[in-house]
Chain A
Amino acid sequence: MRIHCPCCGARPVDEFTYLGDATPQRPAADAGLSAWHDYVYQRDNPRGPHHEYWQHAGGCRAWLVVHRDTATHEILEVTAAREWRARQA
């Protein structure tokens, strides 16, 4: 698996560290137990395209959102995390 870092180009996957699903939105501090439980513990865990946080820890250290198919490992799109969050808002 190779990830195309927007700063560094296509790099092998072992230069990157994985955080996980990028879609859960951090609730407000006073949102209540149920909202926080869902944010911390519950996952959609799809078989197919998945937005996920990766960091190019062995390279430019940028945080990325990788759109990757969990059934085939095909990488559909890589965006800087900040840009992706802005696009969601």
Chain B
Amino acid sequence: MKYSLAKLVAQTLGGHRGWTRAWRDPEPKPHYDVVIIGGGGHGLATAFYLARVHGVRNVAVLEKGYIGGGNAGRNTTIVRSNYLLEGNEPFYEFSLKLWEGLERELNFNVMMSQRGVINLFHSDAQRDAFVRRGNAMLMHGADAVLLDREQLRAMVPGIDFDNARFPVRGALMQPRGGTARHDAVVWGYARGADARGVDIIQNCEVTGIRVEDGAVTGVDTGRGFIGAGKVGMAVAGHSSRVAAMAGLRLPVESHLLQAFVTEGLKPLVDRVVTFGAGHFYISQSDKGGLVLGGDLDGYNSYAQRGNLPMVEHVMECGMAMMPMLGRLRILRHWGGVMDMSMDGSPIIDKTPVRNLFLNTGWCYGGFKATPASGWCFAHTIARGEPHALNAAYRLDRFLSGRVIDERGGGPRPNVH
């Protein structure tokens, strides 16, 4: 069913009794041309672009839980392309361009809001680094604006400009950055993929990957064996476990990231703002809650829940940047499992097992990458070779020395 204003009016007059489900709930077939493991944003986007761009329609997406129940429902919804390095910036800028056309592409309201992403700086050295980053963004066709204190003061209320330890000197802003509704993104991709013939199979956990003569032949699942010409893994925090089913060991550790939502407020912060003297970011959802987050807890974890020292640390960062936050109550908080790669950049590539493909290492930046990740992974699976945009995201880059270390943190997953 194509969504439109006319359809909405007709349904309203009919008491909303005529809506049909957004995607089917099919039984798995015995064999598919391509099986995607993981029904998160990246897996669903991959299936969508396989069908839409490459004409590969005999595709299944296998999801162990339900659509929107994993990291797609656990992120802080920020969309941006403010990267520095050659391997990253073109990819993320392409992703932002896909975001800008996504609602038309999917015929689904993903509530894309280009409200601007503002990164505060607090010292001359940090200003220099942000100017360099802004110039790198401009050279790759992205947008970036340097804001002084007065411009910033007019845009964001409540910032402690003259904090004794972290005075705010200005900010780098990407006006085209912003937020999108995380649930709507997976729902939109699921609906779009389903409409093009993709089977989306929920409550179907993969328990084994069958490999014969060095090539993948299918997957064992809670609902039986499903044969596959090609298999793509897009399972975020659980990549190491799924890859181990095919005998692979990855340059990835699973870590824990917490996020928070306050009680609902009148409109207060109408941009995305990040603190430059600590890891802290904040935006306001359309329901009025402030959405905020910060650093990893710092130790390996699959628990999907964090510990209190990091809660305190994030709140301290928030108070240093915006003291007014101290009057608010936190309504909800949660944790997600991040697939932290060894250089902080993702992997979209073939694997040593023939016809088995890998999409992992998103650290805590996977949401903004959803469209381009799906686009590039679909290309890599359909053609058997990476697209130019993900050519740098190779699995073997740690062996060849071509790491993409945006932060300069070295091979320590918990510092990226």
Which A residues contact B (CB, under 8 angstroms)? Answer: 1, 12-14, 18, 20-21, 33-34, 37-38, 40-47, 50, 52, 68, 70-73
Q: Please state if B399 and A71 are interface contacts (CB–CB under 8 Å).
A: no
Q: Chain B contacts of A52 at CB under 8 A?
A: 299-300
CB distance from B113 to the nearest CB of A (A): 35
Given contacts A13-B307, A45-B240, A47-B241, contact A20 B300 (CB under 8 A): yes
Contact with A along B291-326 (1 / 0, CB 8 A): 000000011111100010100000000000000000
Q: Please state if B300 and A42 are interface contacts (CB–CB under 8 Å).
A: no
CA distance A44 to B248 in the complex (A): 10
15 A–B contacts, CB within 8 A, in A order: A1-B307, A20-B300, A40-B411, A41-B342, A42-B250, A42-B251, A43-B249, A43-B250, A43-B253, A45-B241, A46-B240, A47-B254, A52-B300, A70-B303, A72-B303
Contact with A along B268-303 (1 / 0, CB 8 A): 000000000000000000000000000000111111
Across the A-B interface, the 7 shortest Cβ-Cβ residue pairs? A14-B309, A45-B240, A41-B251, A41-B398, A47-B302, A18-B299, A37-B399
CB distance from A78 to the nearest CB of B (A): 14
Q: Please state if B399 and A70 are interface contacts (CB–CB under 8 Å).
A: no
Contact with A along B134-177 (1 / 0, CB 8 A): 00000000000000000000000000000000000000000000
- Starting from the known contacts A40-B342, A45-B252, 17 additional A-B residue pairs (CB-CB under 8 Å) come to A21-B253, A37-B398, A38-B249, A41-B342, A41-B411, A43-B251, A43-B252, A44-B240, A44-B249, A45-B253, A46-B240, A50-B300, A70-B254, A70-B300, A70-B303, A73-B303, A73-B307
Q: Chain B contacts of A72 at CB under 8 A?
A: 303
Residue of A nearest to B248 (CB): A42
CB distance from A77 to the nearest CB of B (A): 16
Q: Chain B contacts of A37 at CB under 8 A?
A: 398-399
CA distance A45 to B240 in the complex (A): 6
Interface assignment of B407: CB less than 8 Å from any CB of chain A: no
Q: Please state if A20 and B412 are interface contacts (CB–CB under 8 Å).
A: yes
CB distance from B405 to the nearest CB of A (A): 12
Which B residues contact A (CB, under 8 angstroms)? Answer: 238, 240-241, 244, 249-254, 298-303, 307, 309, 342, 398-399, 411-414
CB distance from B51 to the nearest CB of A (A): 32
CA distance A27 to B91 in the complex (A): 36
Q: Chain A contacts of B309 at CB under 8 A?
A: 12-14
CB distance from B49 to the nearest CB of A (A): 29
CA distance A43 to B162 in the complex (A): 44
CB distance from B288 to the nearest CB of A (A): 32
CA distance A46 to B244 in the complex (A): 10
CB distance from A38 to the nearest CB of B (A): 8
Q: Chain A contacts of B298 at CB under 8 A?
A: 18
* Residue of A14, A34, A42, A45 contacting most chain B CB atoms (<10 Å): A45
Residue of A nearest to B309 (CB): A14
Residue of A nearest to B251 (CB): A41
CA distance A20 to B301 in the complex (A): 11
CA distance A21 to B413 in the complex (A): 11
Q: Chain B contacts of A12 at CB under 8 A?
A: 309
Residue of A nearest to B341 (CB): A41
CA distance A14 to B301 in the complex (A): 16
Q: Chain B contacts of A18 at CB under 8 A?
A: 298-299, 414
Residue of B nearest to A34 (CB): B399
CA distance A57 to B303 in the complex (A): 24
CA distance A20 to B240 in the complex (A): 16
- Candidates A13, A45, A50, A70; contact of B250 at CB < 8 Å: A45
CA distance A39 to B301 in the complex (A): 20
Q: Chain B contacts of A68 at CB under 8 A?
A: 299
CA distance A49 to B85 in the complex (A): 37
CA distance A68 to B338 in the complex (A): 18
Residue of A nearest to B313 (CB): A14
Q: Chain B contacts of A70 at CB under 8 A?
A: 254, 300-303
Residue of A nearest to B252 (CB): A45
CA distance A39 to B357 in the complex (A): 24
Given contacts A20-B253, A41-B411, A43-B253, contact A71 B303 (CB under 8 A): yes
CB distance from B335 to the nearest CB of A (A): 11
- Candidates B249, B254, B299; contact of A42 at CB < 8 Å: B249
